[in-house]
Amino acid sequence: MSSNDRRLIDRTRYKLGTARCPRARYLGYYAGETGYGLTRRGESLPLATGSAVHDGLARLTEHLKTRDRVPTAAEVRLIVSLVVAAYLARVEAKGFTGTLTSEETRETITEQATLIAGLLWALWVRFIPWLHDTYQVISVEEEREPYPLDSQHALMIKTDLLARRRTGKSLAYFECKTTGWQRDSWVEQWETDPQLGIGTLGLRDDVSELYIIGLHKGRRQREYGDLTGRKKQFSPLCYGYKREGNPPLAMDQWLPAYQWTDEHGETKRATRAHRRTGVWELEHSDDPTWQAYKANDPELTPVEYWVRTLPTSVLDDVCFLLGPMNRQDEQLKTTLKNMRGEERRWTQALWALYAVQQHGHEWGDPVFMDTLDEWIPCSWACRPFGKEHECEFVPLCHKHSGWDDPIGSGHYQPRLPHHKPELDQAVERGLITANAAPVEEEE
């Protein structure tokens, strides 16, 4: 049986269904008129997500692969501009630009564009040179042939980054993860999570090293004591601490954080006169260090200058590497057995739903919903990270207005598969419609 005949799955939906909520997996990957799931229509301003960073990292590492050298600052500027332009185009497509846009919205768009650019510059400063010196990149964002679980199911795998040590023949597998949480628990989870090992399945050569490229975006919250203002991205890539100048007696002074450690190991702090200020405001600042750099390189942007001059202690918290970790083969074997059993159960559940649909019972019909409740339960873990990050299917599971007609209500649209094998399969079967949309990533 070819991969086009098998039911295709990926790590995300398996983990969603086992660790989070089976109903969320059903709604996100199998519900709707196409049978490939639903995704909520974007009603809020798009924020910087892992997709933009993955795009930028792919461009940076593809440069290493094809040219075997670290890209120059000028080349990185082009990469950053393309990735940021793609984000701004996405914002514009959702109607968040134009003369009617509020000042608050414009500032958030600028902030998120700065964050994307800052993360890419941080990768160039902290990760790319080390990667080039230690490894030769051999694969970037490669969608591989689905890995067969059994005769009916295959696992889709996309490699973020694969490289070979320059001093030997061993392979290293890298996955890039962005996070808004800076806690030990986020770091420690990867030591036992089989996700990294799954990414190495089907490779011809053995992978002896596994890495996580961690990028900390910072918390998104309001300033302390501010109950009405907009939420800000608390990242040193977006905001510094500025003391307003008093020309001609004193010029602006910018500091990288409220507290940091300098190159001599001494702790430094900003004064009460310093205020958190967007990095983009450097463009209009008379800070002497910025002015000197700008005079020497007129093409220099505020975010590039800012990231390239941040103290090492600050950048280490933003861009970091976890590993090398060993691939736990016994755990991986168990996980594959788990997957096979889980997918067989899903096949039975989907056939049970198909049977009632053949008798005219669709989503919203009591017979369909009863069958769904029996076979694919809700975990009700709707807000594991708080209300702001609640599951996108809360309106459907909690039966808000329009829940019984997700597409007709205008709140949802068909999901567009983002793995190429699944997308090709859907197109071949004639199931993808013109209004299908990709999944909006959320950390």
User: For 278-324, how does the pLDDT look when each residue is reduced to its tens digit (9 = 90+)?
Assistant: 999 999 999 999 999 999 999 999 999 999 999 999 999 999 999 89
Q: Which residues contact 246 (CB under 8 A, 6 or more apart)?
A: none
- On whether both 387 and 306 belong to a single domain, the answer is no
Query: Which residue range forms the structural domain that includes residue 278?
Result: 236-311
Q: Is 197 contained in some domain?
A: no
* For residue 20, pLDDT beyond 90: yes
Instruction: State the total domains in the chain.
Output: 2
Confirm whether 302 is domain-assigned: yes
409 within some domain: yes
Q: Is residue 283 part of a domain?
A: yes
Same domain membership, residue 367 and residue 301: no
> Which of 285, 311, 337 finishes a domain?
311
Mean pLDDT of the chain: 90
Instruction: Report the alpha-carbon distance of residue 47 to residue 91 in Å, rounded.
Output: 9
Give yes or no for residue 99 having a pLDDT over 70.
no
**pLDDT of 292:** 96
Percent of the residues in the chain that have a pLDDT greater than 90, as a whole number:
64
pLDDT mean over 242-268: 91
The dihedral sign for the CA sequence 25, 29, 94, 115: positive
Does 123 score more than 60 pLDDT? Answer: yes
Residue 98 clears pLDDT 80, i.e. is over it: no
pLDDT for 1: 43
User: Out of 47-56, 354-363, 386-395, 426-435, which region has the weakest mean confidence (pLDDT)?
Assistant: 426-435
Residue 151 reports pLDDT greater than 50: yes
Q: At what angle do helices 302-309 and 73-93 cross, to 10 degrees?
A: 120
Is omega for the bond preceding 324 within 30 degrees of 0, making it cis? yes
If pLDDT is split at 50, 70 and 90, which confidence band does 185 have? confident
Q: What does the pLDDT average to over 373-391? A: 90
Statement to judge: residues 354 and 403 lie in one domain:
yes
Say yes or no: 307 and 350 in one domain: no
Reported pTM? 0.89
The pLDDT of 102-115, averaged and rounded, is: 90
* pLDDT grade for 442, boundaries at 50, 70 and 90: very low
- pLDDT attached to residue 315: 95
DSSP per position, 62-83: HHHHHH-SPPPHHHHHHHHHHH
Asked if the structure places residue 58 within a domain, the reply is: no
Q: Is the pLDDT of residue 40 over 90?
A: no
Mean of pLDDT values over 238-251:
91
What is the predicted pLDDT for the residue at 328?
83
According to the model, what pLDDT value does residue 424 have? Answer: 87
* 430-435: average pLDDT: 70
Answer yes or no: is pLDDT of 440 > 60. Answer: no
For residue 436, pLDDT beyond 70: no
Lowest mean pLDDT, pick from 136-140, 168-172, 237-241: 168-172
Tell me, yes or no, whether 274 lies in a domain: yes
**Are 376 and 429 within one domain?**
yes
Q: Which of the residue ranges 81-85, 97-101, 149-153, 169-173 would you say has the lowest mean pLDDT?
A: 97-101
Say if 120 falls within a structural domain. Answer: no
In-domain check, residue 380: yes
Q: Which of 262, 288, 311 is at the close of a domain?
A: 311
Residue 376 in contact with residue 17, Cβ under 8 Å?
A: no
